[in-house]
């Protein structure tokens, strides 16, 4: 059980003092890791789950690993990967987390890696900002905000979003 999410939500939120060093308007950093534009899709009224997306750039010389997270918006955050093969979409939890090799940028986007917000406390509404934390094996914990975009949005709104 490598998910640190459960039960750490309170602790994580109180770590807001552990300032998220904003690099740009909506980017975050922890150690050598840069977190680019975290966002989520708005969820339909009855949906119990939501998808969160971001980019993680490792500017350091050491590998790291995203191992969990938490959010005020849902009971749990899981790390998932969707994949399409032969016309069939499959979604699996990455229970061991996901590696962030040095010098690389890991993209979480619809149809691939995503943060799965499980058991939403309320529907995610477009325009909302949802506090969350990410836990890395080496760099530790970072507080972020997910900006909620439209239902089924294919990508974040262009504003303030830079691709490397």
Partner 1 sequence: MPVLKWIRYGAWAGVVLVSFVGAAILLGWWQVDGPGRSPAGRAAVQGVPAIGGPFTLVDQTGRTVTDADYRGKPLAVFFGFTHCPEVCPTTLVQMANLTGKIGAAADPLQILLITVDPERDTPEQLALYLQSFDPRVVGLTGSRQQVDAALAAYKAYAKKIPTENGYTMDHSASVYLMKADGGFRTMIDYHEDEASALEKVRMVLR
Does residue 127 belong to the site contacting partner 1 (CB under 8 A)? no
The answer to whether 38 and 110 have CB atoms below 8 angstroms apart is no
DSSP 34-99: EEEEEEEE---TT-SEEEEEEEEEE-SSS-EEEEEEEETTEEEEEEEEEEEETTEEEEEE-TT-EE
Summarize as ranges the residues that interact with Cu ion (CB under 5 A).
80, 91, 116
56 contact, one of partner 1, Cu ion, none, CB 5-8 Å limit per kind: none
82-111: contacts with partner 1 (CB under 8 A): 82, 84, 87-93, 95, 110-111
What Cα–Cα distance (Å) separates residue 158 from each residue in 8, 111, 130, 149, 154? 32, 19, 19, 11, 11
Distance CA 48, CA 101 (A): 32
22-81: contacts with partner 1 (CB under 8 A): 41-51, 76
Minimum CB–partner distance for residue 104 and partner 1 (Å): 23
The answer to whether 90 and 111 have CB atoms below 8 angstroms apart is no
Count of residues near partner 1 by CB under 8 A? 33
Instruction: Considering the complex, state which of residue 78 and residue 145 has its C-beta at the smaller distance from partner 1.
Output: 78
Instruction: Considering the complex, state which of residue 61 and residue 87 has its C-beta at the smaller distance from partner 1.
Output: 87
Minimum CB–partner distance for residue 4 and partner 1 (Å): 14
Of 154, 157, 160, 162, the residue at the interface with partner 1 (CB under 8 A) is 154
The first and second tokens of residue 71, run together, are 């959010």
Minimum CB–partner distance for residue 46 and partner 1 (Å): 3
Residues of this chain that bind partner 1 (CB under 8 A): 41-51, 76, 82, 84, 87-93, 95, 110-111, 114, 116-118, 150-154
């Amino acid at each position: 059980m490598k998910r640190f999410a459960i039960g750490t939500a309170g602790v994580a939120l109180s770590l807001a003092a552990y300032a998220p060093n904003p690099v740009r308007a909506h980017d975050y950093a922890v150690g050598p890791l840069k977190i680019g534009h975290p966002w989520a899709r708005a969820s339909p009224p009855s949906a119990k789950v939501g998808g969160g997306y971001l980019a993680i750039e490792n500017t350091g010389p050491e590998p790291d690993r995203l191992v969990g997270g938490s959010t005020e918006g849902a009971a749990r955050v899981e790390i998932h990967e969707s994949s399409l093969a032969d016309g069939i979409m499959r979604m699996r939890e990455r229970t061991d987390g996901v590696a962030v090799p040095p010098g690389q940028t890991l993209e979480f986007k619809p149809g691939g890696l995503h943060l799965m917000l499980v058991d939403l406390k309320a529907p995610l509404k477009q325009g909302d900002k949802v506090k969350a934390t990410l836990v890395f094996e080496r760099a530790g914990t970072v507080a972020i905000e997910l900006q909620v975009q439209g239902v089924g949005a294919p990508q974040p709104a262009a504003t303030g979003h830079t691709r490397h």
